[in-house]
Amino acid sequence: MAEELTIHQGDKAGQYQALIPQIEAIVADENDVIANLGNICAALKQQFNWFWIGFYLVKGNELVLGPFQGPIACTRIAKGRGVCGSAWQQQQVILVLDVDQFEGHIACSSDSKSEIVLPIMQQGECVAVLDIDSDTLNSFDEIDAHYLKQVVAIVEGFI
């Protein structure tokens, strides 16, 4: 893998377009799931510097905290609870522009203001979620959803 990530300064779509091939290269030669999830969080953090980026892994009837970048976070989330548990239950991307408007949002940190959660699927079942939190309102939109789905597709290739 490359030793260093090249950070792109253009518009958001351009930043994703520069980052995603690098993420593909980072995970290409490594088959350890935790190592790859850790580096994906780090790459997203380096490029976008969001407040919190992490994976929750489905274990039994809960999501359990996996590799992440950011402050300490809730370790277990029940199915259907919060944004993460809802994305798991609904098997859909959930974009929250203002977490205070999301019924049942789990506030791991009061600094989290907006959020996007994407389910990671294997054979029709959600096995993990990618959760990204911002400390400003309205941080995520359809451009993020579009490109983060590509990141999720990379994860679905090795998880």
Among 108, 120, 126, 128, binds ligand SME (CB under 6 A): 108
74 binds ligand SME (CB under 6 A): yes
Q: Tell which residue, 65, 47, 62, has the closest CA to residue 130.
A: 65
83 contacts ligand SME (rule: CB under 6 A):
yes
Q: Interface with ligand SME includes 105 (CB under 6 A)?
A: yes
Q: Which residue type does 108 have?
A: C
Tokens matching residue 150: 């590509």
* 52 touches ligand SME by CB under 6 A: yes
> DSSP string of 54-120?
EEEEEETTEEEEEEEESS---SEEETTSHHHHHHHHHTS-EEES-GGGSTT---S-TT--EEEEEEE
> Does 112 sit near ligand SME (CB under 6 A)?
yes
Nearer to ligand SME, 45 or 105 (CB): 105
Nearer to ligand SME, 73 or 145 (CB): 73
Binder of ligand SME out of 106, 127, 145, 159 (CB under 6 A) = 106
Min dist CB 7 to ligand SME, Å, is: 24
Residue 51 has a CB neighbour count (10 Å cut-off) of 20
Token pair for residue 102? 């999301």
The residue at minimum Cβ distance from ligand SME is 82
Distance from chain centroid for Cα 89: 16
Q: From 52, 7, 11, select the one nearest 143 (Cα to Cα).
A: 11
Task: For the CB of residue 49, give the shortest distance to ligand SME in the complex, in Å.
Answer: 16
Task: Rule CB under 6 A: say whether 45 interacts with ligand SME.
Answer: no
Binding residues for ligand SME (CB under 6 A):
52, 73-74, 77, 82-84, 105-106, 108, 112, 115, 131, 133
